C-alpha cells in the first residue's frame, strides 16, 4: 500500500472537513469553487440569461456549470483550460495553453466575430512555493486575461480576475480602473482564509480601451 505524504494527508483531512466540499458534492457541483462565483454574482449581479461568457481556467468545471445554468439556452459559454474537462451541457470547451496563440485563435473562431458580455479568469500558475516566482507568474496571467478582455468584451461588459496580493497587484488594479467604470475586490467566504487569492471584479468596460483582435 502506498504511503501518503504528510502534505497529502493534510489535504485529504482539509477536504473531509470542508463544508463547501460537502455542499458541492450534495448539490452536484464539480468543485467547491462554484460557490466563490455564486457569492461574487450575488453581490455584483453579473450573470443574466442570454449572455455570452468566456470562462478561463475552467477545469474541472464548477464555474462553467454555474454559468451555463445562468445564461440558459439563449446564451453561450466558452471555457478554456490547459487540463482536460469533462463535458458540461451548454458549454464549448477548448483545451490549450492560454499563453499560446492557438487556443486564443480557437476562442475567436468560436465567437465568430461576436463580443462577449463577461470574461472570467480563475487561472493560477503552477505553484512552486517561492513567492518571488509565483507572484510574477500570477500577475502575468492576470495581464493576459485583461489583454484578451480588451479584445473580446462588448462596451459595458464585465471582467472577473483571480489575483494574489503582492508585487504588481496595485498596478493591475490601476490598469483595470483605466479600462472599467468600477473595480472592487472580493474575498468570497468559499475562498480559504489562508489563501492570498482575491477576486477583482471590473464592471462597465470602456470601449475606448479596446485592443484590436489579433490575427
pLDDT by residue for the chain (215 residues), tens digit each?
Answer: 444 555 444 433 444 456 657 776 767 688 888 899 999 999 999 999 999 999 999 999 999 999 999 999 999 999 999 999 999 999 999 999 998 999 999 999 999 999 999 999 999 866 656 666 668 788 999 999 999 999 999 999 999 999 988 888 999 999 999 999 999 999 998 887 777 889 999 999 999 999 876 64
User: Which residue of the set 6, 43, 162, 187 is catalytic?
Assistant: 162
For residue 156, say whether it is annotated as part of any ligand binding site.
no
Question: Which domains occur in the chain, in start order?
Answer: 32-209 (3.40.50.150)
What are the C-alpha distances in Å from 25 to residues 10, 33, 99, 116, 207? 20, 12, 32, 31, 41
> Using omega within 30 degrees of 0 as the cis cutoff, is the peptide bond preceding 132 cis?
no
pTM score of the predicted model: 0.87
Strands in 116-121's sheet, in edge-to-edge order, are 91-95, 76-81, 52-56, 116-121, 153-164, 197-205, 180-186
CA distance 209 to 215: 19
For residue 44, say whether it is annotated as part of any ligand binding site.
no
22 is catalytic: no
CA distance 129 to 54: 29
For residue 86, say whether it is annotated as part of any ligand binding site.
no
For residue 97, say whether it is annotated as part of any ligand binding site.
yes
What contacts 24+ positions apart, CB below 8 Å, involve 121-125?
121/56, 121/57, 121/145, 121/159, 121/160, 121/161, 121/162, 122/33, 122/36, 122/55, 122/56, 122/57, 122/58, 122/63, 122/162, 123/56, 123/57, 123/98, 123/162, 124/57, 124/162, 124/164, 124/197
For residue 134, say whether it is annotated as part of any ligand binding site.
no
CA distance 116 to 145: 14
DSSP for 79-112? EEESS-----TTEEEEES-TTSHHHHHHHHHHHT
Would you mind telling me the total number of residues written for the chain in this entry? 215
Amino acid at each position: 500500500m502506498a504511503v501518503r505524504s504528510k502534505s497529502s494527508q493534510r489535504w485529504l483531512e482539509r477536504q473531509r472537513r470542508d463544508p463547501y466540499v460537502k455542499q458541492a458534492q450534495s448539490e452536484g457541483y464539480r468543485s467547491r469553487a462554484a460557490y466563490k462565483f455564486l457569492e461574487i454574482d450575488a453581490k455584483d449581479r453579473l450573470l443574466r440569461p442570454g449572455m455570452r461568457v468566456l470562462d478561463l481556467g475552467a477545469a474541472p468545471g464548477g464555474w462553467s456549470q454555474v454559468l451555463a445554468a445562468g445564461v440558459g439556452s439563449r446564451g453561450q459559454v466558452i471555457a478554456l483550460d490547459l487540463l482536460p474537462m469533462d463535458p458540461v451541457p451548454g458549454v464549448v470547451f477548448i483545451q490549450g495553453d492560454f499563453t499560446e496563440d492557438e487556443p486564443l485563435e480557437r476562442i475567436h473562431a468560436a465567437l465568430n466575430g461576436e463580443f462577449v458580455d463577461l470574461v472570467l479568469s480563475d487561472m493560477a500558475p503552477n505553484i512552486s512555493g517561492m513567492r518571488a516566482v509565483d507572484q510574477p507568474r500570477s500577475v502575468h496571467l492576470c495581464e493576459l486575461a485583461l489583454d484578451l478582455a480588451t479584445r473580446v468584451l462588448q462596451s459595458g461588459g464585465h471582467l472577473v480576475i483571480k489575483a494574489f496580493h503582492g508585487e504588481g497587484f496595485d498596478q493591475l488594479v490601476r490598469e483595470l480602473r483605466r479600462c472599467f467604470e468600477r473595480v472592487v475586490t472580493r474575498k468570497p467566504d468559499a475562498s480559504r482564509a489562508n489563501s492570498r487569492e482575491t477576486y477583482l471584479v471590473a464592471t462597465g468596460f470602456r470601449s475606448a480601451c479596446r485592443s484590436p483582435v489579433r490575427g
